[in-house]
A and B are shown apart, each in its own frame.
Chain A
Amino acid sequence: MDEVKVIEIKKSVFAENEQDANNLRQELKDKGVFLLNLMSAPGSGKTSTLIQLINRIKGKTRVAVMEADIDSDVDAVKIKEKTGVPSIQLHTGGMCHLDAEMTRQGLDNVNLDEVDLVVLENVGNLVCPAEFDTGATCNAMILSVPEGDDKPLKYPLMFTVCDLVIINKMDVVPYFDFDLERCKKYIHLRNPQAQIIPVSAKTGHGIDHLVEWLLKQLP
Protein backbone atom coordinates (compact mmCIF):
# COMPACT_ATOMS: atom_id res chain seq x y z
CA MET A 1 0.00 0.00 0.00
CA ASP A 2 1.18 3.52 -0.77
CA GLU A 3 1.35 5.91 2.11
CA VAL A 4 2.03 9.60 2.19
CA LYS A 5 4.97 10.66 4.25
CA VAL A 6 5.20 14.27 5.32
CA ILE A 7 8.57 15.97 5.74
CA GLU A 8 8.30 19.19 7.70
CA ILE A 9 10.41 22.08 6.42
CA LYS A 10 9.06 25.29 8.01
CA LYS A 11 11.49 27.61 6.30
CA SER A 12 11.15 30.97 4.60
CA VAL A 13 12.05 30.74 0.92
CA PHE A 14 14.07 33.94 1.38
CA ALA A 15 16.24 32.47 4.16
CA GLU A 16 19.00 31.18 1.90
CA ASN A 17 19.19 34.40 -0.11
CA GLU A 18 19.38 36.38 3.12
CA GLN A 19 22.29 34.22 4.27
CA ASP A 20 24.05 34.71 0.89
CA ALA A 21 23.39 38.44 1.11
CA ASN A 22 24.82 38.70 4.63
CA ASN A 23 27.95 36.80 3.56
CA LEU A 24 28.41 39.07 0.55
CA ARG A 25 27.92 42.20 2.70
CA GLN A 26 30.62 41.02 5.08
CA GLU A 27 33.06 40.16 2.26
CA LEU A 28 32.59 43.62 0.73
CA LYS A 29 33.11 45.25 4.13
CA ASP A 30 36.36 43.31 4.56
CA LYS A 31 37.51 44.54 1.16
CA GLY A 32 36.51 48.13 1.96
CA VAL A 33 33.98 48.26 -0.89
CA PHE A 34 30.63 50.04 -0.48
CA LEU A 35 27.81 48.57 -2.59
CA LEU A 36 24.88 50.89 -3.22
CA ASN A 37 21.72 49.18 -4.52
CA LEU A 38 19.71 51.77 -6.44
CA MET A 39 16.07 50.93 -7.12
CA SER A 40 13.08 52.72 -8.63
CA ALA A 41 10.19 52.45 -11.08
CA PRO A 42 11.10 52.54 -14.81
CA GLY A 43 11.60 56.08 -16.06
CA SER A 44 12.24 57.76 -12.70
CA GLY A 45 15.67 58.90 -13.89
CA LYS A 46 17.99 56.34 -12.29
CA THR A 47 20.57 56.50 -15.06
CA SER A 48 20.56 60.30 -15.47
CA THR A 49 20.74 60.83 -11.69
CA LEU A 50 23.61 58.37 -11.55
CA ILE A 51 25.49 60.23 -14.30
CA GLN A 52 25.16 63.51 -12.38
CA LEU A 53 26.22 61.82 -9.15
CA ILE A 54 29.21 60.01 -10.62
CA ASN A 55 30.55 63.05 -12.44
CA ARG A 56 30.65 64.93 -9.13
CA ILE A 57 31.95 62.10 -6.96
CA LYS A 58 34.47 60.37 -9.25
CA GLY A 59 37.31 62.76 -8.33
CA LYS A 60 36.82 61.91 -4.65
CA THR A 61 36.37 58.15 -4.75
CA ARG A 62 36.81 55.27 -7.20
CA VAL A 63 33.47 54.23 -8.71
CA ALA A 64 32.19 51.32 -10.83
CA VAL A 65 28.63 50.67 -12.01
CA MET A 66 26.65 47.47 -12.59
CA GLU A 67 23.52 47.91 -14.67
CA ALA A 68 20.84 45.26 -14.34
CA ASP A 69 18.12 44.99 -16.94
CA ILE A 70 15.98 42.33 -18.49
CA ASP A 71 17.54 43.11 -21.87
CA SER A 72 19.82 45.54 -23.79
CA ASP A 73 22.99 47.37 -22.75
CA VAL A 74 21.87 50.96 -23.40
CA ASP A 75 22.35 51.98 -19.74
CA ALA A 76 25.84 50.52 -19.36
CA VAL A 77 26.97 52.15 -22.61
CA LYS A 78 25.46 55.50 -21.60
CA ILE A 79 27.14 55.46 -18.17
CA LYS A 80 30.53 54.63 -19.71
CA GLU A 81 30.17 57.37 -22.36
CA LYS A 82 28.95 60.09 -20.02
CA THR A 83 31.14 59.42 -16.98
CA GLY A 84 34.12 57.33 -18.12
CA VAL A 85 33.87 55.01 -15.09
CA PRO A 86 33.89 51.21 -15.57
CA SER A 87 30.39 49.97 -16.21
CA ILE A 88 29.08 46.47 -16.82
CA GLN A 89 25.67 45.23 -17.91
CA LEU A 90 23.92 42.33 -16.21
CA HIS A 91 20.98 40.57 -17.81
CA THR A 92 18.47 39.04 -15.44
CA GLY A 93 17.16 36.53 -17.99
CA GLY A 94 13.58 37.74 -17.74
CA MET A 95 13.61 38.07 -13.95
CA CYS A 96 12.23 41.24 -12.42
CA HIS A 97 14.94 41.60 -9.76
CA LEU A 98 18.48 40.68 -8.74
CA ASP A 99 19.31 38.50 -5.76
CA ALA A 100 22.55 38.05 -3.84
CA GLU A 101 23.80 35.25 -6.09
CA MET A 102 23.27 37.30 -9.27
CA THR A 103 24.90 40.33 -7.63
CA ARG A 104 27.91 38.22 -6.70
CA GLN A 105 28.21 36.99 -10.31
CA GLY A 106 28.17 40.61 -11.46
CA LEU A 107 30.81 41.63 -8.91
CA ASP A 108 33.08 38.84 -10.20
CA ASN A 109 33.49 41.05 -13.28
CA VAL A 110 34.47 44.16 -11.31
CA ASN A 111 38.03 44.65 -10.07
CA LEU A 112 37.20 45.19 -6.40
CA ASP A 113 40.80 46.09 -5.53
CA GLU A 114 40.49 49.21 -7.66
CA VAL A 115 37.12 50.57 -6.50
CA ASP A 116 35.64 52.02 -3.31
CA LEU A 117 32.04 52.41 -4.44
CA VAL A 118 30.01 50.08 -6.65
CA VAL A 119 26.57 51.26 -7.69
CA LEU A 120 24.13 48.53 -8.66
CA GLU A 121 21.32 49.91 -10.78
CA ASN A 122 18.58 47.36 -10.14
CA VAL A 123 15.75 46.46 -12.55
CA GLY A 124 13.14 49.25 -12.80
CA ASN A 125 10.37 47.98 -10.54
CA LEU A 126 8.95 49.06 -7.17
CA VAL A 127 7.82 45.62 -6.02
CA CYS A 128 10.18 42.73 -6.61
CA PRO A 129 13.64 44.23 -5.98
CA ALA A 130 12.48 45.14 -2.46
CA GLU A 131 11.81 41.47 -1.68
CA PHE A 132 15.30 40.24 -2.53
CA ASP A 133 18.32 41.30 -0.49
CA THR A 134 21.23 41.80 -2.92
CA GLY A 135 23.91 41.97 -0.23
CA ALA A 136 24.26 45.72 -0.71
CA THR A 137 25.76 47.90 2.01
CA CYS A 138 23.01 50.46 1.48
CA ASN A 139 19.63 50.46 -0.28
CA ALA A 140 18.49 53.60 -2.04
CA MET A 141 15.51 54.37 -4.23
CA ILE A 142 14.43 57.17 -6.52
CA LEU A 143 10.87 58.43 -6.54
CA SER A 144 10.20 60.97 -9.27
CA VAL A 145 7.67 63.79 -8.98
CA PRO A 146 5.35 62.66 -11.85
CA GLU A 147 4.83 59.30 -10.09
CA GLY A 148 2.98 61.04 -7.27
CA ASP A 149 3.53 61.64 -3.56
CA ASP A 150 1.31 58.69 -2.57
CA LYS A 151 3.75 56.00 -3.75
CA PRO A 152 5.08 55.27 -0.22
CA LEU A 153 1.54 54.20 0.70
CA LYS A 154 1.17 51.99 -2.36
CA TYR A 155 4.57 50.30 -2.31
CA PRO A 156 5.33 50.18 1.43
CA LEU A 157 8.00 47.48 1.36
CA MET A 158 10.23 49.40 -1.06
CA PHE A 159 10.20 52.45 1.21
CA THR A 160 10.74 50.29 4.30
CA VAL A 161 13.93 48.64 3.00
CA CYS A 162 15.59 51.85 1.75
CA ASP A 163 18.08 53.85 3.80
CA LEU A 164 17.89 56.70 1.29
CA VAL A 165 15.01 58.04 -0.80
CA ILE A 166 15.99 60.42 -3.61
CA ILE A 167 13.11 62.52 -4.91
CA ASN A 168 13.94 63.33 -8.52
CA LYS A 169 12.53 65.74 -11.14
CA MET A 170 11.97 68.47 -8.56
CA ASP A 171 12.18 70.96 -11.48
CA VAL A 172 8.69 69.88 -12.67
CA VAL A 173 6.92 70.24 -9.30
CA PRO A 174 4.90 73.29 -10.50
CA TYR A 175 3.18 71.12 -13.13
CA PHE A 176 2.12 68.29 -10.82
CA ASP A 177 0.04 67.89 -7.66
CA PHE A 178 3.09 66.72 -5.77
CA ASP A 179 3.42 67.81 -2.16
CA LEU A 180 6.98 67.26 -0.91
CA GLU A 181 6.06 67.58 2.77
CA ARG A 182 3.20 65.08 2.40
CA CYS A 183 5.53 62.70 0.57
CA LYS A 184 8.13 62.96 3.36
CA LYS A 185 5.42 62.24 5.92
CA TYR A 186 4.30 59.11 4.04
CA ILE A 187 7.91 57.90 3.71
CA HIS A 188 8.58 58.40 7.43
CA LEU A 189 5.37 56.53 8.30
CA ARG A 190 6.94 53.50 6.63
CA ASN A 191 10.50 54.15 7.63
CA PRO A 192 11.23 56.79 10.31
CA GLN A 193 15.00 56.49 9.68
CA ALA A 194 14.91 57.11 5.92
CA GLN A 195 17.11 59.91 4.64
CA ILE A 196 15.27 61.97 2.00
CA ILE A 197 17.11 64.10 -0.58
CA PRO A 198 15.19 66.07 -3.26
CA VAL A 199 17.12 66.55 -6.51
CA SER A 200 16.76 67.36 -10.18
CA ALA A 201 19.01 65.31 -12.42
CA LYS A 202 18.18 67.72 -15.24
CA THR A 203 19.25 70.95 -13.54
CA GLY A 204 21.72 69.37 -11.10
CA HIS A 205 19.84 70.83 -8.12
CA GLY A 206 20.43 68.89 -4.90
CA ILE A 207 23.04 66.54 -6.38
CA ASP A 208 25.72 68.06 -4.14
CA HIS A 209 23.70 67.00 -1.10
CA LEU A 210 23.59 63.50 -2.48
CA VAL A 211 27.36 63.48 -3.01
CA GLU A 212 27.92 64.81 0.50
CA TRP A 213 25.61 62.18 2.07
CA LEU A 214 27.18 59.34 0.12
CA LEU A 215 30.78 60.36 0.90
CA LYS A 216 29.87 60.30 4.59
CA GLN A 217 28.69 56.70 4.30
CA LEU A 218 31.85 55.43 2.61
CA PRO A 219 34.35 53.53 4.76
Chain B
Amino acid sequence: MHELGIVFYIIRDVKKAAEENHVNHVDAVVMDIGEVSTVVPHLLTDCWRWAADKEELLKGCELKVNTIPAVTWCDDCKREYETVKHGRTCPHCNSENTWLLRGNEVEIREIQVETHS
Protein backbone atom coordinates (compact mmCIF):
# COMPACT_ATOMS: atom_id res chain seq x y z
CA MET B 1 0.00 0.00 0.00
CA HIS B 2 2.86 2.37 0.68
CA GLU B 3 4.49 1.47 -2.65
CA LEU B 4 3.19 4.62 -4.35
CA GLY B 5 4.76 6.81 -1.67
CA ILE B 6 8.02 4.92 -2.10
CA VAL B 7 7.84 5.39 -5.88
CA PHE B 8 7.53 9.16 -5.39
CA TYR B 9 10.66 9.03 -3.19
CA ILE B 10 12.55 7.04 -5.85
CA ILE B 11 11.54 9.53 -8.54
CA ARG B 12 12.70 12.45 -6.39
CA ASP B 13 16.10 10.81 -5.70
CA VAL B 14 16.62 9.69 -9.32
CA LYS B 15 15.78 13.19 -10.62
CA LYS B 16 18.38 14.63 -8.28
CA ALA B 17 21.03 12.09 -9.35
CA ALA B 18 20.23 12.70 -13.03
CA GLU B 19 20.62 16.45 -12.57
CA GLU B 20 23.95 16.07 -10.77
CA ASN B 21 25.25 13.82 -13.55
CA HIS B 22 23.81 15.92 -16.41
CA VAL B 23 21.65 13.06 -17.68
CA ASN B 24 18.48 13.81 -19.66
CA HIS B 25 17.02 10.33 -19.84
CA VAL B 26 17.28 7.33 -17.51
CA ASP B 27 16.79 3.85 -19.01
CA ALA B 28 16.69 1.75 -15.87
CA VAL B 29 16.71 2.11 -12.10
CA VAL B 30 17.98 -0.83 -10.06
CA MET B 31 16.53 -1.27 -6.58
CA ASP B 32 17.73 -3.43 -3.70
CA ILE B 33 14.61 -4.57 -1.88
CA GLY B 34 14.89 -6.69 1.25
CA GLU B 35 12.64 -9.74 1.58
CA VAL B 36 11.13 -8.43 4.82
CA SER B 37 11.07 -4.73 3.89
CA THR B 38 7.24 -4.93 3.51
CA VAL B 39 7.58 -3.66 -0.07
CA VAL B 40 5.75 -5.84 -2.59
CA PRO B 41 7.88 -5.84 -5.78
CA HIS B 42 5.05 -6.17 -8.32
CA LEU B 43 3.06 -3.37 -6.67
CA LEU B 44 6.19 -1.24 -6.69
CA THR B 45 6.76 -1.82 -10.42
CA ASP B 46 3.05 -1.19 -11.19
CA CYS B 47 3.11 2.13 -9.32
CA TRP B 48 6.43 2.92 -10.97
CA ARG B 49 5.05 2.46 -14.51
CA TRP B 50 2.14 4.79 -13.78
CA ALA B 51 4.22 7.50 -12.13
CA ALA B 52 7.46 7.28 -14.14
CA ASP B 53 5.75 7.69 -17.51
CA LYS B 54 4.48 11.09 -16.38
CA GLU B 55 8.11 12.31 -16.23
CA GLU B 56 10.06 13.19 -19.39
CA LEU B 57 13.27 11.95 -17.72
CA LEU B 58 11.77 8.53 -16.93
CA LYS B 59 9.46 7.73 -19.89
CA GLY B 60 9.75 3.99 -20.50
CA CYS B 61 12.40 3.67 -17.80
CA GLU B 62 12.44 0.19 -16.30
CA LEU B 63 12.48 -0.41 -12.54
CA LYS B 64 14.54 -3.53 -11.84
CA VAL B 65 14.08 -5.14 -8.45
CA ASN B 66 16.94 -7.04 -6.89
CA THR B 67 15.70 -9.02 -3.87
CA ILE B 68 17.96 -9.18 -0.82
CA PRO B 69 17.38 -12.38 1.20
CA ALA B 70 16.58 -11.75 4.86
CA VAL B 71 19.03 -13.14 7.41
CA THR B 72 18.62 -13.12 11.18
CA TRP B 73 21.38 -13.38 13.80
CA CYS B 74 20.90 -15.33 17.02
CA ASP B 75 22.57 -13.66 19.99
CA ASP B 76 22.49 -16.85 22.06
CA CYS B 77 24.05 -19.43 19.74
CA LYS B 78 25.85 -16.83 17.58
CA ARG B 79 24.57 -18.28 14.32
CA GLU B 80 22.66 -16.94 11.32
CA TYR B 81 19.48 -18.33 9.79
CA GLU B 82 16.91 -17.55 7.05
CA THR B 83 14.38 -15.10 8.47
CA VAL B 84 11.47 -15.90 6.14
CA LYS B 85 11.64 -19.63 6.91
CA HIS B 86 11.97 -19.40 10.69
CA GLY B 87 10.74 -15.95 11.77
CA ARG B 88 11.93 -14.66 15.11
CA THR B 89 12.75 -18.00 16.71
CA CYS B 90 16.23 -19.43 16.10
CA PRO B 91 15.96 -22.90 14.45
CA HIS B 92 19.29 -23.93 16.02
CA CYS B 93 18.60 -23.23 19.69
CA ASN B 94 14.95 -22.00 19.91
CA SER B 95 16.02 -18.64 21.29
CA GLU B 96 13.99 -15.49 20.63
CA ASN B 97 16.98 -13.31 21.33
CA THR B 98 17.44 -12.66 17.62
CA TRP B 99 18.08 -9.66 15.38
CA LEU B 100 17.57 -8.97 11.70
CA LEU B 101 20.97 -8.65 9.99
CA ARG B 102 19.75 -7.77 6.51
CA GLY B 103 16.60 -7.99 4.42
CA ASN B 104 15.02 -4.68 5.40
CA GLU B 105 16.55 -2.60 2.57
CA VAL B 106 14.65 -0.22 0.30
CA GLU B 107 17.60 1.20 -1.59
CA ILE B 108 18.35 2.62 -4.98
CA ARG B 109 21.43 0.70 -6.05
CA GLU B 110 22.13 2.40 -9.39
CA ILE B 111 20.68 4.09 -12.43
CA GLN B 112 21.51 3.10 -15.99
CA VAL B 113 21.71 5.62 -18.82
CA GLU B 114 22.57 5.19 -22.48
CA THR B 115 25.47 7.21 -23.76
CA HIS B 116 25.69 8.00 -27.46
CA SER B 117 29.18 7.89 -28.85
Taking Cβ atoms with an 8 Å cutoff, the residues of A that contact B are: 1-14, 16-17, 94-97, 99, 125, 127-128, 131-132, 157, 189
| Cα-based distance from A6 to B111 in the complex (angstroms) | 6
B5 touches A95 (CB 8 A): yes
What is the minimal beta-carbon distance from B67 to any residue of chain A, in angstroms? 16
Residues of A within 8 A of B116 (CB): 2
Band of interface residues on B: 20 to 34
Taking Cβ atoms with an 8 Å cutoff, the residues of B that contact A are: 1-2, 4-6, 9-10, 12-14, 17, 21, 23, 27, 38, 88, 96, 105-117
Partner of A11, one of B2, B6, B108, B113: B108
Residues of A within 8 A of B5 (CB): 95-97, 99, 128, 132
22 A-B pairs with CB atoms under 8 Å apart are A4-B27, A4-B113, A7-B113, A9-B13, A9-B14, A9-B107, A10-B108, A10-B109, A13-B10, A13-B106, A14-B9, A16-B13, A17-B9, A94-B4, A95-B4, A96-B5, A97-B2, A97-B5, A127-B1, A127-B38, A128-B2, A132-B5
B17 touches A12 (CB 8 A): no
B105 touches A12 (CB 8 A): yes
| Contacts A95-B5, A97-B2, A132-B2 known; 4 new A-B pairs at CB < 8 A | A8-B110, A16-B9, A96-B1, A125-B1
Residues of B within 8 A of A8 (CB): 109-110
Residues of A within 8 A of B117 (CB): 1-3
Residues of A within 8 A of B105 (CB): 12
| Cα-based distance from A96 to B47 in the complex (angstroms) | 14
What is the minimal beta-carbon distance from A192 to any residue of chain B, in angstroms? 11
Partner of B13, one of A5, A11, A125, A127: A11
- The closest CB in chain A to the CB of B16 belongs to A16
Residues of A within 8 A of B106 (CB): 12-14
Partner of B113, one of A5, A95, A189: A5
- The closest CB in chain B to the CB of A11 belongs to B108
What is the minimal beta-carbon distance from B64 to any residue of chain A, in angstroms? 12
B115 touches A5 (CB 8 A): yes
| Cα-based distance from A128 to B110 in the complex (angstroms) | 25
| Cα-based distance from A2 to B4 in the complex (angstroms) | 32
| Cα-based distance from A4 to B30 in the complex (angstroms) | 13
Residues of B within 8 A of A1 (CB): 117
| Cα-based distance from A32 to B72 in the complex (angstroms) | 40
| Cα-based distance from A128 to B38 in the complex (angstroms) | 9
Known: A127-B1, A131-B38, A189-B88. A13 touches B6 (CB 8 A): yes
Residues of A within 8 A of B4 (CB): 94-95
Partner of B38, one of A4, A10, A157: A157
Residues of B within 8 A of A17 (CB): 9
Residues of A within 8 A of B23 (CB): 7
What is the minimal beta-carbon distance from A18 to any residue of chain B, in angstroms? 11
Known: A2-B115, A4-B27. A131 touches B108 (CB 8 A): no
| Cα-based distance from A3 to B27 in the complex (angstroms) | 11
